[in-house]
Structure 1
């Protein structure tokens, strides 16, 4: 049967994608930030996942104020890179795993999660930047990808606890899929950052570090963090961290930390990254 072997979390700052695309990753401003992903690139090459369930948020590329799904799962065979105003990123198309995606959708809906099923959408930097961070610039991505888009842009976003429970439901769905697959689940977005208002540029390293610590030391405590704490401590865009809890909820209680990276600043954003082996 299929199995979730690991969870990966990372920021998906669009400037990281631009630095990769423009060959700037070794420049002094960027070098230390990208160095923290070298371990994971080697590890991913060794792990060779068949499928990645990639949790991210759309940035008005596939969805807008006319349609705002809380949880949307991509069930298509292929996804193209979105044009976010300066042309699509020069990255390979994302190849899906429609059979597993439909199975997850069916299982989660019957498990009382109201998933929105998407059969045609473009994917933006929220999804493609993490792939570039882990896999570089290949001719094609080395794994099939199931996009899972979460609304963290328009109030109200889902609670951290609801995201955790969805992760648990995804894990049950994957475990019931009959094909032998090595599946990883990635949570993306964050860490602390605010893009507008009087607190634009906010970065809270102590809070971010504590969040990373608790992913393994006290993950249950993360489930109860209210929206207002994310806003107060991690900035208006810090709510993206609830997507990491979908990843964490899909792993067992004994998940083990393999690698961690934290860097500031990257385009006025705190970059966080962690790799967890499933317990």
Structure 2
């Protein structure tokens, strides 16, 4: 059967992608950010998955304000890189895994979660920046990706608990797939940041690090945090962190198994106008 072997959590700041694309990674401002991912790149080479299930949020490229699904799973064979207003990033198109994606959709919907199936979708920085951070700048991505888009842009947004429970359902779906696959779940977005209004530029280091602590040690308790707490303490865009709960809910200890092993933790302020957070947890079955 397929199995989940690890979860990766990371911010997906668009300026990080621009820094890579423009060759600025060694400039003093960016050097510390990218140094925090050096271990992760080596870890990924040594722990290369067969498929990555990548949780992200679309930034009005695949979906407009006319139609925003709460949860959308990409079931296509490939995904073009979106033009976000200044041309597509110079990165490879993303190869999908339609068979596993269709199986997960079938299983999760039968577990009473409503998903939107997307057979054609351009993917923006929410998905490509995490790939760049962990994979560098290859001619092609080293594994297929199943994009899983979550609405954290237009209210109402899903609760942390619903995201957490969805992660548990995704684990059951993966484990019921009858092909021997090594699957990683990536949760992206966050950390604390606000892009507009009187609190634009807000960063809350205390909240961010407490979130990382609880994500490791008390994810189910963390899932009970109401969305208004994210908005108040982490800024209007801090709500993106509920997407990390999908990935964390998919780990073995949330299904009665062993606790995961922490392989890497990194936190840095600032990167553009936000904080950068990153964790790697290995699943111990």
1:187 Cα offset (Å): 0.3
Runs of 4+ in structure 1 off by over 3 angstroms are none
Whole-Å separation in 1 of the counterparts to 2:171 and 2:92: 28
1:271 aligned to which of 252, 269, 276: 276
Instruction: Report the counterpart of residue 184 of structure 1 in structure 2.
Output: 184
Instruction: Report the counterpart of residue 25 of structure 2 in structure 1.
Output: 25
| Residue-by-residue CA offset, 1:20-78 (whole Å, 9 max, x unaligned) | 00110010000001100000000000011010000000000000111110000000000
Instruction: Report the counterpart of residue 136 of structure 1 in structure 2.
Output: 136
1:221 Cα offset (Å): 1.3
What are the ranges of 5 or more consecutive residues in structure 1 without an aligned counterpart? none
| TM norm structure 1 | 0.99
Instruction: Report the counterpart of residue 114 of structure 2 in structure 1.
Output: 114
Q: Secondary structure at the match of 1:42?
A: helix
Instruction: Report the counterpart of residue 163 of structure 1 in structure 2.
Output: 163
Whole-Å separation in 2 of the counterparts to 1:256 and 1:161: 23
| Residue-by-residue CA offset, 1:215-246 (whole Å, 9 max, x unaligned) | 12211211101011000000000000000000
Whole-Å separation in 2 of the counterparts to 1:148 and 1:218: 24
Query: Which deviates more, 211-220 or 226-235?
Result: 211-220
Whole-Å separation in 2 of the counterparts to 1:22 and 1:50: 30
Whole-Å separation in 1 of the counterparts to 2:200 and 2:7: 30
Alignment of 1:260 with 2:256, yes or no, is no
Alignment of 1:214 with 2:219, yes or no, is no
| Residue-by-residue CA offset, 1:155-207 (whole Å, 9 max, x unaligned) | 01100000001100110000000111110000000000000000000000011
Matched length = 279
Whole-Å separation in 2 of the counterparts to 1:240 and 1:18: 21
Superposition CA RMSD, Å: 0.6
Alignment of 1:35 with 2:35, yes or no, is yes
Is the CA contact (8 Å cut-off) linking 2:164 and 2:220 kept in structure 1?
Answer: no
Whole-Å separation in 1 of the counterparts to 2:67 and 2:273: 29
1:256 Cα offset (Å): 2.0
Whole-Å separation in 1 of the counterparts to 2:103 and 2:217: 32
